Structure 1
């Protein structure tokens, strides 16, 4: 029997071949963190089998393969145009009725017919690549509501298999882009547009120092960080001080946060999100206070204990209920030694430890 839909709570890492690393990891986290206070937005998954069915029904396999084969892999001069044509084929494809009903029913019944705003996230499925936990290759969409918007956004996620960066990544990692598949995660939106969001690292990414938790935070939706458009606030947290359950030691760097990504107005049928200038008062205010820094840092300790390796996690704070949510996690590679941050670490140690 074909499986087009899976609930996150019924998914684990054994399902990577059907839901991709990102979606499988969220399913795993829901199970592992059930006994903790860490919240994860509710949602469901559209499987890679659904994508493959969509491609088959629209007879896209051959034209996609031909487009990929016609790319100049030496100069990449025609990459942009071929990638655009491939995405156009998918976005203009017909969503078969049984797949439409499977997606719509999951959306309606899981959310009790409340038609909430959702985030629609790509989760690439590349079985032959050991580390498919790559970020930024494929697209995600926010503040989508209702059946039509949901279905179109799913096709946009399918099409993002053929972004220029995704195609080059495929060639560089030994597989053809048209051999991959796409799973899509649908999660209820956290109202970070009127709250805040960011990323955290269980070890400092500059050199992997295990004594440092690194947090980034901005006002509004976190996609602004992912695309490196603005400078976020940055916080270095000294783990020994955190574990002692006393005052936590924090090095703070105030970011410019000059722009904020927010939801568009309800009657804006073209844009789901908009970028606005951040009020000067908020630009000059730290996003996180000590209690919030401790809260997210304790999440980092929990994830570190679960995975036993450096992990990155995305978080968001809902501006309505003021709750923090864990959005996704992934491993990361630490870079070469960073002298500047090493100096900050030495300063932190000297400030905290007794003579």
Structure 2
């Protein structure tokens, strides 16, 4: 902070750096730092100025306000909500009614008139608070003071500046400062006055340079909605969500590894009504807006590149607000802007060497579901509170259930055993505060306040992946703590079975050597839900529906409902979802190998997808019927397989995730293997090209008996112990009548396993196992080590204990020291 600026009322962004936090607060200091250093790298920052903390000090000292405020707060008790509310109200009224000294008033208006000269008469500006203790690396003061949008004209600018100064003493701000150990006059207030981005005619949101739930640092997480950004921050909407993978973005690839459409039911726009009391207003979005993505890939990649510039400049993970100007037809230029950046304050404080895994040991009736915030589990008696006026009834340890929260709720949020909201996305207020407090939170349930009653015992679980569930009753759960520094290296690679893309950024932090099995079935079932041939033939289905086929009409309607973001190209929906599902897993474990098994639904499972019954035969024994490799080159399915290959090619080539390897399931003969390899080549997946390796599942006795012939075709084997066991023993593992015979430890099965490992080692081919056996039976894992297997792929819950077991066995065998 330069001495010449210490007694200035106004400083422009050009004059400010990150060292000026004591003078202009965290928000202004960061804006100035970026304006000065990052605009040259293409990062757009709307221009503006800061009303300094010195100006605030001048205001309170020259008017005697400091003494009056101290007197009002002399008997403050933040744990007595009525006491807190009464003291806060008195202070705010006092500040709002104080007249600005002439010198301060003149300085503010002179700066605003310069903005008018730059942008036009009555230029629209945002008037935002910037506290001097705000946005520090170890404490987020975000949202503690107020922001006002679409402010125009001299009188309005002065009025909203007064309200910003008063907001330094909102109930939540008083409470937050007190609980963080700041005195009420340790924190001064500066104000940002910044040119508005006309995102009311476009979109806006927040992005982080890490995954906010897992702390995984290799992604940019973007979220946003139509209109001005306050709805996203306040949690009034369920926004769109995107992930972009940083390492290959730096290499010039286009790694948008995940997209999710939010409901976005309202948007905040300028209030153009004459004599309106509010400068902005919320209106309903159109069906087309609700069903479409707010940003295209070019916008996502540009914002992500800016996020990398900002992260590199600050040297830390960042929380960044962005906005897009209107498209130029009515207002704006269509350009993107960054309007704020601050250090991320949760995961930056966590130990990187200690991991906690919460495991729900029983399941009950799910009352409601939404998005999980964090990975913890909490429980207690529920307290349904419709409005902030009811927070006096809240008791410590209860689970708060409400529509949405804002900073007024913070005095009770910190006492909660869990939080459940109807509305909000993962960057809303409830998510930010619960993450900071380490409280499990499920947001965006839509019906939580209706499905849960006050006094009900409930369990809030964020340990089930991206979906958070609220269960009836107090369910048993455990917490496993792992010190990553104590995990040894082993000769045998310990890989993971990963089926759910949303868990990848958490599970990749379990000690591992990559992914030995990523199943496409979950992606198709959970993220697509439609038979691929129904998407490929969608135009034909529309014709049939128009001709009066009611069954097909219902199918068409369901497809339209699930593919709103793809109104004209249903094939691309399938391709993108395959690419994103596989890409998210590939990104989580990059650069370690991720072996993706091609789709392996059986015909009865495909039939259960939307439109599936139109394309699937009825088989008496689907388990050994038309599945796996036999589908891919068949004329009845090859068009669907082409779409699958295009999705995988997109993940590898466009996203740059060349760590993705492919595996062919249920390949009965070497001849069939050659047909599949040729079919994949036809669709762009060329073995050996761009490092592509193709493995075969070893799950049929013929794979063992003809292992030499299969080794001529494939780069390696992965033993599927489940199918290999049932086909070796000649039993249907889905049949209760013979289930008691199913045991991978049977000598015949072990002989098969040992035989194929010996053949693979002799032929110099990689061989691993991805079946359940080593996860379930430690003795089977030791048997595999004795056989010399290259890798085991395990469920994440058993990976660490199996790795320790394998380490001891390898020491005993003299394989490692």
- Alpha-carbon deviation of 1:173? 1.6
2:50–2:191 CA contact under 8 A, matched in 1: yes
Alignment partners' CA distance in 1, 2:173 and 2:193: 21
Q: Distance in 2 between matches of 1:198 and 1:163?
A: 25
Please give the alpha-carbon distance, in whole angstroms, between the structure 1 residues aligned to 2:25 and 2:139: 8
Using the alignment, how far apart are the partners of 2:154 and 2:48 within structure 1?
Answer: 15
The match for 1:122 is: 129
Contact kept? 2:38, 2:309, Cα under 8 Å: no
Name the CA distance, whole Å, in 1 between partners of 2:139 and 2:8: 22
What is the CA distance between 1:55 and its match in structure 2? 1.3
Which residue of structure 1 lines up, in the alignment, with residue 240 of structure 2? 233
Verify: 1:343 aligned to 2:503, yes or no: yes
Larger gyration radius, structure 1 or structure 2: 2
TM-score by length of structure 1 reads 0.94
Which residue in 2 is equivalent to 1:59? 64
Report what 2:799 is aligned to: none
**Superposed CA offset, 1:89-131 (max 9, x none):** 001111111111110011102431633010001001249x875
1:323 is aligned to 2:328: no
Deviation at 1:328? 0.8
Q: Please name the residue that 2:114 is paired with.
A: 109
User: Who is 1:76 aligned against?
Assistant: 81
How far the C-alpha of 1:309 sits from its partner, in A, is 1.6
Deviation of 1:244 after TM superposition, in Å, equals 3.1
CA deviations 1:177-225 (Å, max 9, x no partner) are 2442110010011101111101111111112212221000100000111
Q: 1:307 aligns with which of 296, 303, 314?
A: 314
Give the deviation of 1:266 after TM superposition: 5.4
Moved more, 267-276 or 147-156: 267-276
Aligned counterpart in structure 2 of residue 247 of structure 1, from 242, 254, 274 = 254
Q: In structure 1, the residue corresponding to 2:41 is in which secondary structure? A: coil
2:55 equivalent in structure 1: 50
Corresponding position of 1:291:
298
Question: Once the 2 structures are TM-superposed, how far is the Cα of residue 133 of structure 1 from its aligned partner?
Answer: 4.9
Change (3 A) 1:144 1:231: same
- Alpha-carbon shift at residue 306 of structure 1 (Å): 1.4
Q: Number of aligned residue pairs: give it.
A: 354
- Which is worse superposed, 304-313 or 106-115? 106-115
2:653 is the alignment partner of 1:354: no
Maintained 8 Å contact 1:21/1:133 = no
The alignment status of 1:214 with 2:520, answered yes or no, reads: no
Distance 2:253 2:343 in 1: 29
Q: In structure 2, do the counterparts of structure 1 residues 215 and 96 end up closer, same or farther at CA, with 3 Å as the change threshold?
A: same
In the alignment, structure 2 segments of 5+ residues that lack a partner are 1-5, 327-331, 351-355, 357-373, 376-462, 467-501, 509-581, 587-593, 595-650, 652-656, 662-817
Q: Give the equivalent residue in structure 2 for 1:189.
A: 196
Deviation string, structure 1 residues 11-63 (Cα, Å, up to 9, x no partner)? 11222111011111111111111321111111111011111111123221122
- Asked whether the equivalents of residues 21 and 132 of structure 1 are also in contact (C-alpha less than 8 Å), the reply is no
Whether the aligned pair in 2 keeps the contact of 1:161 and 1:177 (CA below 8 Å) is no
Moved more, 341-350 or 161-170: 341-350
Is the Cα–Cα contact under 8 Å of residues 240 and 294 in structure 2 kept in the other structure? yes
Asked whether the equivalents of residues 166 and 177 of structure 1 are also in contact (C-alpha less than 8 Å), the reply is: no
Per-residue deviation, residues 57-79 of structure 1 (Å, max 9, x unmatched): 32211221122222224423321
Contact 1:204 1:214 in 2 (8 A): yes
Name the CA distance, whole Å, in 2 between partners of 1:327 and 1:153.
Answer: 19
Maintained 8 Å contact 2:131/2:189:
yes
Aligned to 2:362: none
For 1:306 and 1:132, how far apart are their aligned partners in 2? 20
| Aligned equivalents of 2:284, 2:255: Cα separation in 1 | 32
Distance 1:249 1:104, change over 3 A: closer
How many Å apart are 1:250 and its aligned residue?
2.2
* 2:179 counterpart of 1:200: no
CA contact (8 A) 1:202 1:303 kept: no
Corresponding residue number in structure 1 for 2:271: 264
Q: Distance in 2 between matches of 1:84 and 1:259?
A: 31
Partner of residue 692, structure 2: none
In structure 2, C-alpha distance between the alignment counterparts of 1:321 and 1:87, rounded to whole Å: 39
CA contact (8 A) 1:315 1:328 kept: yes
The reply to whether residue 149 of structure 1 matches residue 123 of structure 2 is no
Residues 1:130 and 1:237: Cα distance change in structure 2 (over 3 Å): closer
> Shift of residue 238 of structure 1?
2.0
| Corresponding residue to 2:92 among 78, 87, 91 | 87
The CA deviation at 1:344 is: 4.3
TM-score, structure 2 length as denominator? 0.42
Given the superposition, is the C-alpha separation of residues 302 and 66 from structure 1 closer, same or farther in structure 2, using an over 3 Å criterion? same
Q: Provide the C-alpha distance between the structure 2 equivalents of 1:170 and 1:249, rounded to a whole number of angstroms.
A: 39
CA distance in 1 between counterparts of 2:165 and 2:288 reads 40
Partners of 2:39 and 2:45 within 8 A in 1: no
Partners of 1:57 and 1:269 in 2: CA distance? 34
Q: CA deviation at 1:165?
A: 1.0
